[in-house]
Amino acid sequence: MRSQRDVLDPALYEKTRLPREEAATLPWWVYTDQTWFEREMETMFRPAWHFAGLASSVPDAGDFRTLRLLDEPLLVVRGDDLQVRVFRNSCRHRGSLVVGEPSGSCRGLRCPYHSWTYSLEGVLKHAPGLEGYRRDELAGLGKDLLQVPSGVREGLIFVHLGDPKTAAPLDAYLGNYLSTVAVPHQTAQMVATEEREYTLDSNWKLYAEVDMETLHTKHIHRGSIGEQPVTVPASEGDWIGVYHESAHTPALHPGERKSGFPHTTGLSGPATRGAHFSLLLPGFFLVTAQDVMWWIHKLPDSATRTRVRVGYSFPASTLARPDFDEVSKRYYKRLNQVVDEDDWITEYQQRGLNGSAPGCYVPEEHVVHRLDNWILDRVLGV
C-alpha cells in the first residue's frame, strides 16, 4: 500500500492519463485512502455547486425544506418576496437547528431553544435575552441567519458551500447544461413525488462511474433496462453525460414502455426523442426523460461511505391526471429496482478493491475514462 506521503504523486497515475485504448483504471487506493479523500473534498466538493432540491418543493411564501449537504445543515425557504434563499440551519445565538422538520410552511423561523426568531428572509426579529433592543436594532446586530450562496435555474436549486470569494459563478459551472438538457426537457415543470436518503458502504466514485457507462446495463440491469446504446453530447462547464435515443420511456420495464404517461409538454430537440443521463460534477446524477425526471445524488461521508439522495419527479400536469397513482406505481417499481441494483454492485465492487491491480477501459467506458481524468485534474492540480 502506498504511504500517506506519496499518494498524491502524479507519477502514480500516468497510466490513467494515457489514451483510453492504452489507459489503466485508477488504482485501488483512490477509493479507500483518507488523504486522497480529504483532497477530493478540498478540490472538488467544496468548490462545486450542489443540488438542493426543486424550486417547486417550496412553491409559496413561507414554504421550507431542510437538508444536510457535506455535513452542513441547510434550510431552503421561499421568502415573502417569493425569492428562494438557502441559509445555514443554525441559530445565531447558540447554534441549534432553527427548523427541525424536513419540510413545511411557516410565517417566521423560530429556534425552539430560546425562541430567537427570524423573518423568512433570515433577518433577526425577536431575541429573548436582548430585550433592550428594538426590532430594527436587532436587525443591525449582525446576528441574522447566515445565507449560503444559491441560485435557481430551470427549477433546480443549487448551493455553494465553499469559500464564496473563490466560487465560480453558477452559470459558468452549469455551462451549456441548461441549453442542452434542462430547457429542452422542461425541468422547470417538474414536481418531486418521492425522495429518500441513505448511506452505502462504497466510495462515491464507484457510483459516479457506473452512471457513465452502459456496459453494465446488459448484466446488472438485465431485467430492468437491458442494452442501452448511447451517444455523448458536447458539454461545456462542469458536467458530462450520455444520451439514449428511444421513442419509449426508459423509466419503465421493457414490457411496459408503451403504457406510461404522455410526454412532457414543450419538449424540444433531442429531448423529444430520448433521455439524457447527466453527471453534474462531481456527484449529482440527473436523468431527464420524455415523461419523468429522477436523480441519484452522491455525497461522500468518508473514503468508503457515501450518502445517497434519490428523488423522482413528474411534470405538474402529470400529477393532475386521474390515473397518476395507478400508473406512477409502474415507474416507482422500475426506478427502485434499478437504483437497488446499482447500490448493490457499488458495495460489491468496493469489497473487492483492496490490493487489486488496475484494469482497462473498454470502448463502452470512454466517458468513465474522461470522468476519472477530470478527477485527477482536480485532485492533483496538473
In a domain? residue 251: yes
State pLDDT tens for residues 276-299: 999 999 999 999 999 999 999 999
Task: Check whether residue 144 and residue 228 sit in a common domain.
Answer: no
Q: Roughly what angle, to the nearest 10 degrees, separates helices 366-380 and 204-211?
A: 140
Spatial separation of the C-alpha atoms in residues 237 and 109, rounded to whole Å: 36
Is it the case that residue 3 has pLDDT exceeding 60? no
178 and 118 both lie in a single domain: no
How far is the C-alpha of 83 from the C-alpha of 376, rounded, in Å? 38
C-alpha grid cell for residue 271? 429531448
Domain with residue 243: its CATH number is 3.90.380.10
Say which DSSP state 40 is in: H
* Residue 95, C-alpha cell as written in the block: 447554534
**Cα–Cα distance measured from residue 335 to residue 314, given in angstroms and rounded to the nearest whole number:** 13
Cα separation, 381 vs 374, whole angstroms: 10
Q: Do the domain assignments include residue 2? A: no
Task: Look up the domain containing 100 and give its range.
Answer: 49-160
Whether the per-residue pLDDT at 226 is higher than 70: the answer is: no
Shared-domain flag, residues 254 and 371: yes
Q: Based on the domain organization, do 143 and 195 belong to the same domain?
A: no
Q: Which of 160, 183, 200 is the last residue of a domain?
A: 160
Query: pLDDT digits over 67-77, tens only?
Result: 999 999 999 99
3 lies in a domain? no
In a domain, 284, yes or no: yes
Q: What is the pLDDT of residue 323?
A: 97
Give yes or no: residues 298 and 188 share one domain. yes
Query: In whole angstroms, what is the distance from residue 62 CA to residue 219 CA?
Result: 47
Main-chain dihedrals φ then ψ at residue 196, nearest 5 degrees? -155, 160
Whether residues 191 and 66 share a domain: the answer is no
Q: Are 231 and 222 in contact (CB under 8 A)?
A: no
Average pLDDT over residues 339-358: 94
pLDDT at 1: 44
Q: In the Cβ-directed half-sphere of 331, how many Cα atoms lie within 13 Å? A: 25
Cα 112 to Cα 96: distance, rounded to the nearest angstrom: 8
Here the cell at position 133 is 433592543
Predicted TM-score of the model (pTM) = 0.94
Kindly state whether residues 140 and 188 are assigned to the same domain.
Answer: no
pLDDT in tens, 134-181: 877 887 788 899 999 999 999 999 999 999 888 899 999 999 999 999
Q: Is residue 371 part of a domain?
A: yes
Amino acid (1-letter code) at residue 18: L
Check whether residue 55 and residue 149 sit in a common domain: yes
- Please indicate, yes or no, if residue 165 is contained in any of the structural domains: no
Element spanning 170, H or E: helix 170-174
Same domain, 84 and 151: yes
AA letter at 120: L
Q: The C-alpha cell of 125 is what?
A: 426579529
3-state secondary structure of 139: coil
CB 301 within 8 A of CB 307: yes
Say what the pLDDT of residue 66 is: 98
* Alpha-carbon dihedral sign for residues 14, 16, 18, 24: positive
Residue bearing cell 409502474: 330
Distance CA 375, CA 177 (A): 19
Question: pLDDT per residue over 301-313, tens digit each?
Answer: 999 999 999 999 9
| CA–CA gap between residue 125 and residue 141 (Å, rounded) | 11
Domain boundary among the residues 118, 137, 160 is at 160
Cell of residue 233, nine digits? 453530447
Cis peptide bond N-terminal to 254, omega within 30: no
CATH number (domain holding residue 109): 2.102.10.10
Q: Is 121 exposed, middle or buried (0-12, 13-18, 19+ CB in 10 A)?
A: middle
- φ/ψ of 350, rounded to 5, equals -60, -40
Contact 243, 270 (CB under 8 A): yes
Q: What is the distance, to the nearest Å, from the Cα of residue 183 to the centroid of all Cα atoms in its chain?
A: 18
Domain count, the chain: 2
Domain end, chosen from 160, 192, 215, is at 160
Is 32 a domain residue? no
- If asked whether residues 185 and 311 sit together in one domain, one would say yes
- Whether the CB-CB separation of 193 and 319 falls below 8 Å is answered with yes
Q: Determine what percent of the chain is predicted with pLDDT higher than 70.
A: 97
- pLDDT digits over 15-35, tens only? 999 999 999 999 999 999 999
Report d(CA 313, CA 231) in Å as an integer: 24
Tell me the average pLDDT of the chain.
94
> What does the pLDDT read at residue 347?
97
Beta strands 63-69 and 103-105: pairing type?
Answer: antiparallel
Q: Which residues pair with 294 in a beta bridge?
A: 287, 312
353 located within any domain: yes
Residues 363 and 262 in one domain: yes
pLDDT digits (tens, 9 = 90+) for 81-119: 999 999 999 999 999 999 999 999 999 999 999 999 999
Is residue 79 packed enough to be buried (19+ CB in 10 Å), middle (13-18) or exposed (0-12)?
Answer: middle
